[in-house]
Structure 1
Amino acid sequence: MMHDKTSFSLKTLAAAALAAALLAACGSSPPTQFYTLAVPADGAAACTASQGPQTFIEVMPVSVPDRLARPQLVVRSDATRVEVLEQDRWSSPFNNELRDALAAGVAARLGAIDVSRGGRPADQASYRINVELRDFDAARNGQVQASFGWTITRSDDRRGGACRLTVVEPVGGGANADVVAATQKAVGRAVQAIADSVRALQAGQGGQCSA
């Protein structure tokens, strides 16, 4: 009789464990996907350092609309609503991700050194770049539209210029990864325009913008 009770208890525990496992499997969330704005280095796009003094840049923290200052992707679902995607995230808060992508891209195109976090030699001037993402809208199967504004000043004389750029990139599909790819392209266009602004300032044309 004791053997029968023990066998029944074990079967009951096994059934309960199986039921709990099935419930956990049914209720589990899909794995979180992490994305980056960083683009793999392209030797053709990067500008090699020219002969002469080394260029130093300092990209300051980027200002973004409040709704975007988070790690989650934010996409438009219709004319009046946006979605904050808990399972699709940038590798860091979007404002930090954007600053890092801009700094790396501009440094690569200019053959410059980014001293934003490491400092620069005391006897060297740097180009301080302040960027604001004034507007950003992204939709699956739609487009990414981004409006940037920036100022660039030399650390030794404070002369500089202010520019702005609005870019539109088509989103090639209905996946969140397609939104990320279009956002990368939009940021890449801003990187090129900012790098061109630094070159203009180096040439004494601080009031000119390429965009």
Structure 2
Amino acid sequence: MNRVERRGVTGVALIVLALLTGCSTTSQSSRFYLMSPLQETLEQSRMITTQPLLGISSVGLADYLDRPQILVRNGPHRLELNEFDRWAGPLQENLRSVLSRSLEQHFGAEQVIVAPWHDALRPAYELSLQIDQLDATQAGDLTLRGRWTLYAPAGRQLVALGRISLREAIAGAGADAEAIVAATAVVVARLGDRLAKQISPHLKP
């Protein structure tokens, strides 16, 4: 066998080896997570009938949060994305769902609605929320910072506005995705509690 033939055989062998190696490697599958509202009863809140109808018009996210991957902050200037730990759906919708359930505990299950709503069921007040920070750290805590605005839809009148900053400990390892999602659900429920206290004095029946 001459040198050219040996090179050909060696090349074919390397290609076959690469194909076999690729076939034997098991690709990692993605894991998907969804926040669930905290288990609370709504019976007591349904007794409240004097509250005006409150609508959650929007929940905005900082650009860096608007992605399917779950983020972990690794230092003051560095974020890590795990390609295999992802939100099961748009984070905005999940946040809005958990937030609305938390607000229902304070104002009543029938007194909180989420956009879009029908013209025949327009809220007396609209709540808009912008989330500027929502991320976990390797140290094991989760931080939420945001701004809220309360409007009276008639004439788009500004009623009140404010800022909120919350921190929640993450159970177990700080980078564990399931623990991060659980802590996020808790901090969003706490966000609803804080919002209810801040906007209640401005809601006129």
Distance in 2, Cα, partners of 1:149 & 1:138 = 19
TM-score (norm 1): 0.73
- Counterpart of 2:137 (choices 125, 136, 139) is 139
Between the two proteins, the alignment pairs up a number of residues equal to 183
Query: Which residue in 1 is equivalent to 2:53?
Result: 56
Distance in 2, Cα, partners of 1:194 & 1:46 = 19
More strand per residue? 2
Give the C-alpha shift of residue 68 in structure 1. 0.5
Q: 1:48 to 1:70 in 2, by over 3 A?
A: same
Deviation digits for residues 63-89 of structure 1 (CA, Å, limit 9, x no counterpart): 221111012111123444211122111
Alignment of 1:1-211 (within 5 A): 23-24=22-23, 26-29=25-28, 31-43=29-41, 47-52=45-50, 55-111=52-108, 112-119=111-118, 121=120, 125-156=123-154, 158-174=157-173, 175-203=176-204
Runs of 4+ in structure 1 off by over 6 angstroms are none
Indicate the SS of the match to 2:49: coil
Q: 1:25 to 1:61 in 2, by over 3 A?
A: farther
Q: 1:126 to 1:71 in 2, by over 3 A?
A: farther
Residue identity matched to 1:69: D
Q: Which gives a bigger RCO, structure 1 or 2 (Cα 8 Å, sep 6+)? A: 2
Identity within the alignment, %: 21
TM-score (norm 2): 0.75
Q: For the Cα contact (< 8 Å) 1:128–1:155, is it kept in 2? A: yes
Q: Which moved more, 1:176-185 or 1:97-106?
A: 97-106
Q: 1:125 to 1:77 in 2, by over 3 A?
A: closer
Extract unaligned runs of 5+ from structure 2: 1-15
Give the C-alpha shift of residue 108 in structure 1. 4.1
Q: RMSD in angstroms over aligned alpha carbons?
A: 2.8
Indicate the SS of the match to 1:144: strand
